[in-house]
Amino acid sequence: MLRYRKIFLITFIWIPFLVFCEREKAEAFIFFDLPLPFNESANIVVTDNMKLFSERQFVTLVKKGFPKNKDDKEQYLFIKSLYLMEDWIHVIYYGKLYDKKSFLYPYIAFYTFRAYMKRKLYSDGFQFYQKEKTALSKMPFPDEISEVYEETIANLNLPGYSKDLGLYYFKRYQADPKNKKDLLKSILLGEKDAVRILDLKNYKRLIPKNQLEKTARICEKFNTSVAISIYKDLRNWKQTGFLYFKEKDYKNALKYLPKDSFEASCSRLAIRKHSQKDLILLGKNLEESYPLLANYLIEKEDFEKLYLLLLKKYRPGYLRDLVFGLMRDKKYYKILQYLQELEKASLSLEERLLLNYWLGYLLILDGKNEKGTLLLKHNAVYYPYYFYGWQAYNILQNKEEIQNEWKKEFSQNLEKMSPYIEKMDKIHFDMEDEYSLFFVVIGEINKGFQLLKNKYSTLNQFYFFFIRLFRDMGRTDLAAYYSDLFYTMIQKQCDNALFYKNLFHELFPLKYSESLKTAQKEMGIESFTLASVIRQESVFYPTAVSWVGARGLMQLMPKTAAPILKALTKRNLIKNTNLFEPHTNILSGAYHLKWLYQSLYKDIAFPYQDILALASYNGGHVRIQKHYQSFPENPDIVFLIETIPMAETREYVKKVLFYKEIYTALYQ
């Protein structure tokens, strides 16, 4: 009797209940707080910091269940949440319930179509595609749809699929990994994903001997280690050596390359076991050997030959090494001579400004004031927002004349810019398409971009809209990002266009003034210095997290912050220890800067103290102290900054010091 009761319970209660849960009730599904991928395949990179709608909000939406009202946006968010959590069954089920007349239905149709593919319901997915082809054609990302469609067709093995035969065989292999013939076919057809699967163990079992050479040629692009191993088996030593050279494994390259070959000479120079013959051979082929030769000369501190190399065939990136290498040896006349010769070279903008600054500076020291002043003035008037433009302004005496030039330049450019500004000032948020704003708010920024690009005729209007939108949403980091893009666009249309005042405030926002004042009072660090650090670290975005785990406005590492938070709590300066809380983060960052100023650089004069403290904040104090100790007392400020050994820290110091000037001018 008991046995029949169990059968009855299983057959008529438990099985129907499970089916009901699976097909009807999304609320019965156990959801996990998974990381949500927001990048929707567009033409810009969307970082984690651009998420506007949090993961927990998506989870909460799902737990509430499918919205019974007919709000298409709420229903979209519910289905999108299921999609991000990879709950494909419920995406398919609720996708069918969605209003097909809604503006958002093409997106829902795409999620449903992809869900069929993810569940390997290829036949049903193909039928759904045929039925909803019109809706899917309205999607702004046709490449994604075609990718899903091709995968569906390939798995159905339907006739007529011949767009990419290598991909077709690879998909078949993925569906049935025991079918090695399909994997071999896809490899020989050059399918990159199939080639990457090969390793040093399985290629010998998989690839027949008569196909080894062909496979090696294909592997050269996508799987170099296997290509090298195959060439070794085939005793093709020259190609083996060439691939080692290509991978910059110079020691192994020399074992296989012919001794008289160009690649062998390059390899010997790279490991510093070269001869004079090697240098002569490399000098005849500068296209290939230029970086190796230049780096060798810099390491050897043979700046005369580096200059001759630059004069013979100029390549960007080495002028800086030439100038500061000679400056360490105090060979100022040689720098002057070399820079005058290199003035005619085709330099990048940054290198041109560097050359103008040092050439002008040295000409003035040599008594040639007129030409030197002209070069410095060019930097200061036309490029005040670059490091060497700002430094040129600092050392020139007649600052009033430069300011008058700025006003003249500004008024001329304002006339050129006025048509753009007038158009942009007319843009309001009463958008023709409310869904663009909806996508932006929930974090699917690229979808909003695609819709807005259809609305605005110029990129200037497009960027200006986002400056205002993100500012009003409190996302100062994104407002500054689009301000920068906007300025770049204006520069292309108006030569040397200057910012107008409102745009400056978008590029250099100032928030949390009370916390900054408290930090200045308690820690003795200027509020504009702190604002400049925040502008560089997080652009005033309080929940920013770097790839190494630094947190908040001033990007503090949790280990660095732990003792600081204890000290601040004892002094009752903070209410909690959460680094994402703006007041806590600002006080903690200011405390750390105070320690750098007072403990390490207390006896050092201004402005060296600023430079060293900021460099230590970014790059660590040990290396910066060693760097400063290698200089005589009171070195040239620009030379001190430009010779900081870490490139990232060097640029960091330049930007923060410049931002401080701007914040002081804007908000004092």
Residue-by-residue DSSP string for 318-353:
SHHHHHHHHHHTT-HHHHHHHHHHHTTS---HHHHH
**478 in a domain, yes or no?**
yes
Residue 604 has a pLDDT of: 82
Residue 422 has a pLDDT of: 54
Enumerate the H helices of 431-508 as residue ranges.
434-441, 445-455, 459-472, 476-493, 501-507
Give dist(CA 304, CA 308) in Å, integer.
Answer: 6
Enumerate the H helices of 344-398 as residue ranges.
349-365, 369-382, 387-395
Residues 520 and 503 in one domain: no
Residues 119-170: tens digit of each pLDDT: 878 778 888 888 888 888 777 666 677 777 777 766 666 544 444 667 777 8
pLDDT beyond 50 at 19: no
Give dist(CA 662, CA 325) in Å, integer.
Answer: 31
- Longest distance between any two alpha carbons in the chain, whole Å: 114
Cα torsion angle, 403, 374, 504, 547, sign? negative
Residues 407 and 425 in one domain: yes
pLDDT beyond 80 at 230: yes
Region of poorest pLDDT, from 17-26, 84-93, 296-305:
17-26
**296 in a domain, yes or no?**
no
Give dist(CA 214, CA 194) in Å, integer.
Answer: 15
Give dist(CA 251, CA 268) in Å, integer.
Answer: 8
The confidence band for 16, taking pLDDT boundaries of 50, 70 and 90, is: very low
Residues 72-91: tens digit of each pLDDT: 788 888 888 888 778 888 88
Residues 135 and 206 in one domain: no
Residues 424-437: tens digit of each pLDDT: 545 444 444 567 76
Domain stop point among 116, 133, 163: 163
Where in the sequence is the domain holding 229, given as residue range(s)?
167-235
The confidence band for 356, taking pLDDT boundaries of 50, 70 and 90, is: very high
- How is residue 575 written in tokens? 């209410």
Residues 588-638: tens digit of each pLDDT: 999 999 999 888 887 787 788 889 999 999 988 888 888 888 877 778 888
Give dist(CA 96, CA 118) in Å, integer.
Answer: 17
Tell me, what CATH number does 612's domain have? 1.10.530.10
- Angle value at C-alpha 626, between 622 and 627, nearest 5 degrees: 115
Residues 248-259: tens digit of each pLDDT: 899 999 999 998
Contacts of 307 (CB under 8 A, 6+ apart): 322, 338, 341, 342
Give dist(CA 597, CA 533) in Å, integer.
Answer: 15
**Domains in the chain: how many in total?**
4
Residues 479 and 524 in one domain: no
**477 in a domain, yes or no?**
yes
Residues 463 and 558 in one domain: no
Q: Which residues of 17-27 are buried (b: 16+ CB within 10 A; e: fewer)?
A: eeeeeeeeebe
Residue 489 has a pLDDT of: 63
Domain stop point among 176, 205, 235: 235
- For the purposes of burial, counting CB atoms within 10 Å of the CB of 317, is it exposed (0-12), middle (13-18) or buried (19 or more)? exposed
Residues 53 and 190 in one domain: no
Please give the backbone phi and psi of residue 591, each rounded to the nearest 5 degrees, phi first.
-65, -45
Average pLDDT, the chain: 78
Domain stop point among 235, 254, 284: 235
Choose among 500, 508, 483, 534: nearest CA to 411.
500
Residues 566 and 661 in one domain: yes
Residues 148 and 230 in one domain: no
Choose among 590, 594, 579, 483: nearest CA to 539.
483
**566 in a domain, yes or no?**
yes
Residue 491 has a pLDDT of: 59
Residue 160 has a pLDDT of: 43
Please give the backbone phi and psi of residue 551, each rounded to the nearest 5 degrees, phi first.
-125, 150
Residues 526 and 490 in one domain: no
Whole-number CA gyration radius for the chain: 32
Residues 185 and 117 in one domain: no
Residues 84 and 224 in one domain: no
Cβ neighbours around 158 below 10 Å, total = 11
**25 in a domain, yes or no?**
no
Give dist(CA 273, CA 334) in Å, integer.
Answer: 30
Residue-by-residue DSSP string for 93-161:
HHHHHS-TTSTTHHHHHHHHHHHHHHTT-HHHHHHHHHHTHHHHTT-S-HHHHHHHHHHHHHHHT-TT-
**263 in a domain, yes or no?**
no
**21 in a domain, yes or no?**
no
Choose among 358, 366, 305: nearest CA to 335.
358
**471 in a domain, yes or no?**
yes
CA 94 to chain centre: 36
Residues 157 and 183 in one domain: no
Specify the pTM: 0.69
Residue 7 has a pLDDT of: 44
Region of poorest pLDDT, from 6-20, 176-190, 233-247, 297-311:
6-20
